[in-house]
Amino acid sequence: MSETVVMKFGGSSVADADRIKAAAKRIVAKREKGDRVVAVLSARGDTTDELLNMAAEVSGTPDPREMDMLLSTGERISCALCAMAISDLGHDAISLTGSQAGIVTDTSHTRARILDVRADRIEEALDAGQIVLVAGFQGVSTNKDVTTLGRGGSDTTAVAVAAALGASVCEIYTDVAGVFSADPRIVPDAKKLGTVSFEEMLEMASSGAKVLQLRSVEYARTHGVRIHCRSSFDEGAGTIVVTEEETVEHPLITAVTHSTEEARVTLIGVPDSPGVAGAVFGALAEAGVNVDMIIQNEPPEEGKAADMSFTVATEDLRDARTALEGIIEAQGIQSIAWDEKMGKVSVVGAGMRSHPGVAATVFRVLGDLGINIEMISTSPIKISCVVSADRVADAVRGLHGAFELGDADADSGAQSPHGAAR
Ligand code: ADP
Ligand code: ASP
Ligand code: MG
């Protein structure tokens, strides 16, 4: 029996007509090998950013439901165009919106989670010999509204569809050759990883390596989906995300990751009494805001107010502030301050679990570079430091060099529709 394969093409891989035609050729080649093929596409190039800007032009506080109606159009455009290109290559293709593809989500607009994939329509089309194009990043909520899955969400669509179809592999085609030891746009000698464990990939994705959306990695691990992350510009093998049992080596450090989209929120004058932290983080959770690092200072004297700081993604700052403004008075908190220009650099490696001294090296390297560490957090296989956003690139290069992660003949295959590194 023929195998089912899911191929996902990211925004830069479908950015213009030539790239859509190239993706169509690649999809058709897979079909001609005899596989049943579903392709999940992202919006073209910067379309999602442009749609976000369009919303900002007409409203300071766009309604999240309408935002999803708007944002979901980007991936529909890609799918319809690619179906046309495939048809010109002599194959039968059908494009489906997330809703038509049976992607059912919860009701959290702009950051919905997939609850179920009712793939019968995809299955019927595959049984009829069609190539199926699914619009990524979107679904339909249990309230029958269009939802989107958060930035980078097409990865999760692809993995969820692969899980529902029992696909043999979910191929994530992107603008770099796989998952690297650091972002190849910042570290030119970054090394492509042949394999990476789920455990490490989860830490990498959660600390800024946007090559795979965090949720897609979680979903793949839970549902046993094979992810192969590879270049859409050449045929070379990329990176396979493997289970812990399949992992042979545990290098001390696998990768250095970063993010420049962190905001720090400080609550000034937080009463030293039980229940306040619960109210603060409860309000943030209700607003769907993910909190990363949290620091609570000791009060100067017992019973006196202290400060509390935490980080959130910059894109969540507005929601975080709104949620907090609603509770500070009742909780007796003095005021809120924030800094939008924070960044984070992290080192990830399963080997650090059994190896002391990694944190000391990280702090020494940053110190030698004159980079001030504002906040620190650790997991058994990750050390993260919040630093000023404008020093993040230096920090990444310094740590990558210090842990000798480089590859002398590295070639990321990195290409961007705009040429320049982002
Ligand atoms: P797509 O549009 O295909 O979904 P993304 O822009 O979401 O692509 O993700 C690919 C980008 O992720 C790369 O262009 C690269 O700059 C960035 N990236 C960050 N960290 C890493 C890493 N460790 N390995 C590979 N790419 C990374
Ligand atoms: N188009 C969406 C974004 O830019 C989803 C994706 O590309 O995965 O975030
Ligand atoms: Mg992406």
For the segment 349-370, the average pLDDT, to the nearest whole number, is 94
Percent of the chain with pLDDT over 70: 96
Q: Does position 278 have pLDDT exceeding 70, yes or no? A: yes
Per-residue CA distances from 205 to 209, 230, 409 (Å): 5, 16, 25
Rounded to the nearest 5°, which phi and psi values hold at 279? Answer: -70, -40
Question: Which ligand has the minimum distance to the alpha carbon of residue 156?
Answer: 2
Neighbour tally for 336: CB within 10 Å: 14
Q: Which residues pair with 146 in a beta bridge?
A: 140
CA of 10 to the centre of ligand 3 (A): 6
Q: Is the CB of 176 under 6 A from ligand 1?
A: yes
Residue type, 272: D
Ligand 2 atom with the smallest distance to the CA of 155 is 8
In this prediction, residue 414 carries a pLDDT of 55
For the segment 393-413, the average pLDDT, to the nearest whole number, is 87
Question: Which ligand has the minimum distance to the alpha carbon of residue 40?
Answer: 2
In this prediction, residue 422 carries a pLDDT of 32
Instruction: Render pLDDT for 67-82 as a digit per residue (tens, 0 to 9).
Output: 999 999 999 999 999 9
In this prediction, residue 84 carries a pLDDT of 98
Give 156-206 as a DSSP string. HHHHHHHHHHT-SEEEEEESSSS-BSS-TTT-TTPPBPSEEEHHHHHHHHH
pLDDT band at 411 (very low <50, low <70, confident <90, very high): low
Give 75-113 as a DSSP string. HHHHHHHHHHHHHHTT--EEEE-TTTTTEEE-S-TTS--
Question: Which ligand has the minimum distance to the alpha carbon of residue 10?
Answer: 1
Spell out the domains of the chain, with CATH numbers in brackets.
4-174 (3.40.1160.10), 249-422 (3.30.2130.10)
Q: Is the CB of 210 under 6 A from ligand 1?
A: yes
Could you tell me whether strands 93-96 and 227-231 are parallel, antiparallel, or unpaired per DSSP bridges? unpaired
Q: Is the CB of 136 under 6 A from ligand 1?
A: no
What pTM was computed for the model? 0.93
pLDDT band at 420 (very low <50, low <70, confident <90, very high): very low
Could you tell me whether strands 239-242 and 195-197 are parallel, antiparallel, or unpaired per DSSP bridges? parallel
In this prediction, residue 157 carries a pLDDT of 98
What average pLDDT does the structure give for the chain? 94
For the segment 343-347, the average pLDDT, to the nearest whole number, is 98
Q: Which range (217-221, 291-295, 370-374) has the least confidence? A: 291-295
CB burial class (10 A; 0-12, 13-18, 19+) of residue 106?
Answer: middle
Instruction: Render pLDDT for 83-111 as a digit per residue (tens, 0 to 9).
Output: 999 999 999 999 999 999 999 999 999 99
* Contact between residue 23 and residue 9 where contact means Cβ atoms under 8 Å apart: yes
Q: Is the CB of 180 under 6 A from ligand 1?
A: yes
Q: Give the distance, in angstroms, between the CA of residue 338 and the centroid of all CA atoms in the same chain.
A: 24
Q: Does position 44 have pLDDT exceeding 90, yes or no? A: yes
Q: Does position 202 have pLDDT exceeding 80, yes or no? A: yes
The helix, strand and coil proportions of the chain, stated in percent and rounded to the nearest 5, come to 35, 25, 35
Residues 6+ apart with CB under 8 A from 173: 7, 8, 9, 10, 13, 23, 26, 230, 231, 232
Could you tell me whether strands 227-231 and 169-174 are parallel, antiparallel, or unpaired per DSSP bridges? parallel
Neighbour tally for 147: CB within 10 Å: 32
Question: Which ligand has the minimum distance to the alpha carbon of residue 153?
Answer: 2
Rounded Cα–Cα distance for residues 23 and 13 (Å):
7
pLDDT band at 375 (very low <50, low <70, confident <90, very high): very high
Q: Is the CB of 345 under 6 A from ligand 1?
A: no
Quote the Cα angle for 87-92-97, to 5°.
90
Structure tokens, 265: 């929120």
For the segment 125-148, the average pLDDT, to the nearest whole number, is 98
Query: Who lines ligand 2 at CB under 6 A?
Result: 10-11, 42-43, 48, 74, 136-137, 151-155
Of residues 205 and 419, more confidence is placed in 205
Q: Which residue from 12, 176, 187 has its CB within 8 A of the most atoms of ligand 1, so it is best to mutate?
A: 176
In this prediction, residue 209 carries a pLDDT of 96
Q: Is the CB of 12 under 6 A from ligand 1?
A: yes
- Closest of 204, 203, 202, 199 to residue 180, by C-alpha: 204
Instruction: Render pLDDT for 22-31 as a digit per residue (tens, 0 to 9).
Output: 999 999 999 9
Three-state DSSP class for residue 337: strand
pLDDT band at 410 (very low <50, low <70, confident <90, very high): low
* Contact between residue 98 and residue 118 where contact means Cβ atoms under 8 Å apart: no
Quote the Cα angle for 234-97-319, to 5°.
95
Residues 6+ apart with CB under 8 A from 298: 306
CA of 74 to the centre of ligand 2 (A): 9
